[in-house]
Structure 1
């Protein structure tokens, strides 16, 4: 019984170590970016209705290749706009995401990726592209220059 517990605990810790660390608060993201000398990758998505958003998540964000590249370089900030009732965000989180959209995604594009510095100034933007995680990473990094 104890061995099962330790195996399960180890697997949970291992899975947590390999998961993408998504932020949902802009001020926290700016502070982390400043403290860790990273850029912010703000992702506007419709996680339960936007086919290109789902593809971007599956083909780029969720890959181990991208996670490994991004770990030391990016603070990943998610602004999700789900439509299904069972995926509804809290009122506070929805308002927060709406404010981010008013500032950085006025045209309402999905998916829309905005690259920001630690002060919240826009460095560049892009959307879904059929490419490799490494090439997508390099495109994001190119906005720093």
Structure 2
């Protein structure tokens, strides 16, 4: 299983396919399109400093040279996700570390909160690409784009809830990144 994720994974067909279908559906009703556009511009991550759009995270990663750290979460129902957020992600020391080391991407699967359909399709595409079956799952990876515009994923590693606060969590992610660079 580990070997599969250490190789480059092409996911754009899943993401693009979902986005194409959704753009077709959204274009069938002008009022619906306006409502969705407004919702998409207003939709933000549950935590400050996190992106919700893979394309934005890709551009930031490409510009900075930092890997993307994606948090697959059920922000309004998953107890371990909420615990990880409260014990690690909202802490100043984590925010300072993240700013220097990674691009943060939130891929949320809420039950109560509505998210734009385009983001929902993107999140499910990423969930499928990384074979995520439980929450929270944190994947660290690099993205590149082929000449055809498809994303290629270079998976660095994954983790989940780690007891011990920001220092322990960061230590694990730093070790993943270091090991990946040494390959």
Aligned length: 124
Aligned mates of 2:49, 2:89 — CA distance in 1: 10
Give the Å deviation of 1:118.
3.8
Q: Deviation above 4 Å: which 4+ runs of structure 1? A: none
CA distance in 1: counterparts of 2:98 and 2:48, whole angstroms? 9
Could you tell which deviates more after superposition, 19-28 or 71-80? Answer: 19-28
Work out whether 1:98 is the aligned partner of 2:124.
yes
In structure 1, list runs of 5 or more residues that go unmatched.
Answer: 1-18
The match for 1:68 is 96
Given that 2:162 and 2:168 are in contact with CA atoms closer than 8 Å, whether structure 1 keeps it comes out as no
Question: How many Å apart are 1:107 and its aligned residue?
Answer: 4.2
| TM-score, with structure 1 as normaliser | 0.80
TM (norm. structure 2) is 0.64
Instruction: Output the CA distance in 2 between the equivalents of 1:142 and 1:118.
Output: 19
Gap runs ≥5 in structure 2: 1-46, 145-152
CA RMSD, 1 decimal: 1.3
Alignment counterpart, residue 115 of structure 1, candidates 130, 137, 140: 140
Is 2:169 the counterpart of 1:136? Answer: yes
